[in-house]
Amino acid sequence: MTVSHPVGPGDTRTRIVVLGAGFAGAYCASELSRRLGARADILVLDAHNYFVFYPLLVEAGSGSLEPRHAVVPIRDFLGRGVRFRLGEVLDLDTSAQTVGYRIVGEQARRTARYDHLVVALGSVTAFPEIPGLRENAWQVKSLGDAVALRDQMVQLMERANVAESLEERRRLLRFVVVGASFTGVEVAGEFHHFLHEGVHSYRNLKEEDVDVMLLDRGPRILAPLSESLARYAQQRLEKRGIRVLTGRTIRSAESRTVTMDDGTIVQADTLIWCGGISQNPRARSLPLPGDARGFIKCNVDGRVEGFQNIWAIGDGAINPRPKGGTYPATAQAAIRLGARAGANIARAIAGRATRPINFRDVGSLCALGGRDGVAQVFGLQIAGFAAWWLWRSVYLMKMPGLGRKFRVALDWTVDLFFHRDIVQLGLRRKGNGE
């Protein structure tokens, strides 16, 4: 059964379909609504009716922040001028200018016609062909992943508390994090802090029982930052007891052991994979030009190569900078790409020339856990408590909605004065989505 997307007789509005309601898609749709108003029929499709505020994902998982405060309801964000459908993309016909999709929970195939299409389906975690990795590794890509990982850590502390040997206790409380860019460093730092707080709730556990290892195959951690800031971050992590190993990765993963690339076997129940992103399989299946990894190739104005009315932005697209290079797969870049692509679509609809998407990165911030951080902003380098405070202040300002800002600020204020609850929330699915 096929259901057509309804367009009333004589409706002359420009039909715009946005695939994906993450940062890039949501901000693009919002900008289009602001610029075009009633002149456009804007439809957003996504398999979730929210987007995760990814910069706060790790804190939401570790309990510094109430998990539901890290998600933004799409309908509230988009407003009344944009229609939303909880749908999964099935196919794309560029000749007929139609998108096939189905409502989540239904089987019927529906069709949406478009005059302009925006592809912003985001990315998934990249799992290389390492034996046992996909089956045994956790990832931190969704709110469910982050909270389930916290549940896993609480369970392991419970088991370690009654372990019969020191060897078993150390194995249970050893966590291997692979990938030392922003996500990996924040995961290692924040969850190490969570574990150090947590062991004080158990009679038989000590802080020295916790062993967090952070690995990266590159020569240093936090490659996008300056060498001096990366060195500071590594020194701070190591001072708190996190083992940082650069130029290293893993060869295989089992349920209770990890084999390093030099053959060393590490006894550990938990492997957390933060080793990069891959193209969303739904985007990869679309008949659009892509590179060897499947990422959609675009022009400098956001249009997909070879098309005048199809645009791609965000993690799943290659958005080139006018002077060379490409924009990074970060939340900050996705927000700005979404707004500028929306402006270009509005110009194209009005018959005006589009502009190259051009913006300078404001900088980068990374929380190290334990009220410590590093920041590189407007050419300035900041480290320590000031960087951590700046990290929280910046993302509090970027959080959509006054009510959500207040809730996040309240959570953080409580976290300053009280210990987090060492309690599970009942999410025990594996971090790889199984």
257 and 290, same domain (yes or no): no
118 and 259, same domain (yes or no): no
Q: Cβ distance 117 to 65 under 8 Å?
A: no
Sheet with 363-367, edge to edge strand ranges = 363-367, 373-377, 380-383
Q: Cβ distance 112 to 29 under 8 Å?
A: no
pLDDT at 4: 46
Beta bridge mates, 159: none
Rounded-to-integer distance, Cα 359 and Cα 420, Å? 39
142 and 115, same domain (yes or no): no
Rounded-to-integer distance, Cα 295 and Cα 308, Å? 18
Hey, what are 406's tokens? 């207040």
Q: Cβ distance 353 to 347 under 8 Å?
A: yes
228 and 84, same domain (yes or no): no
Hey, what are 122's tokens? 């985001």
Closest CA to 26 of 73, 94, 68: 73
pLDDT at 8: 55
pLDDT at 418: 84
pLDDT digits (tens, 9 = 90+) for 77-134: 998 889 999 999 999 999 999 999 999 999 999 999 999 999 999 999 999 999 999 9
Name the residue with tokens 């951690």.
Answer: 221
What's the CATH code of the domain at 158? 3.50.50.100
Q: Cβ distance 251 to 130 under 8 Å?
A: yes
The beta strands (E) that lie in 63-182 are given as 71-73, 83-93, 98-103, 109-113, 116-119, 123-125, 137-138, 174-178
Rounded-to-integer distance, Cα 20 and Cα 225, Å? 30
157 and 114, same domain (yes or no): no
317-318 and 296-297 strand pairing: parallel
Rounded-to-integer distance, Cα 180 and Cα 243, Å? 12
Residues of the chain with pLDDT under 50: 1-5, 430-434
What's the CATH code of the domain at 292? 3.50.50.60
6 and 139, same domain (yes or no): no
- What number of CA atoms fall less than 13 Å from residue 325's CA on the CB side? 8
205 and 310, same domain (yes or no): no
Name the residue with tokens 């790889």.
Answer: 432
294 and 340, same domain (yes or no): yes
Is residue 176 in some structural domain? yes
Is residue 69 in some structural domain? yes
pLDDT at 3: 47
Is residue 432 in some structural domain? no
Hey, what are 331's tokens? 């939340």
Q: Is 83 left (phi over 0), alpha (psi -120 to 50) or beta?
A: beta
pLDDT at 428: 56
Domain housing 113: 2-125+278-349
Task: Name the amino acid, one letter, at 246.
Answer: T
DSSP state of 413: H
DSSP state of 204: T
Taking the model in full, what pTM does it have? 0.91
pLDDT at 434: 41
267 and 284, same domain (yes or no): no
Rounded-to-integer distance, Cα 22 and Cα 334, Å? 9
Q: Cβ distance 28 to 338 under 8 Å?
A: yes
Is residue 219 in some structural domain? yes
Beta bridge mates, 71: 52
303 and 387, same domain (yes or no): no
Is residue 256 in some structural domain? yes
Rounded-to-integer distance, Cα 58 and Cα 267, Å? 25
pLDDT at 7: 52
269 and 283, same domain (yes or no): no
Count: domains in the chain? 2
Is residue 253 in some structural domain? yes
310 and 253, same domain (yes or no): no
pLDDT at 433: 41
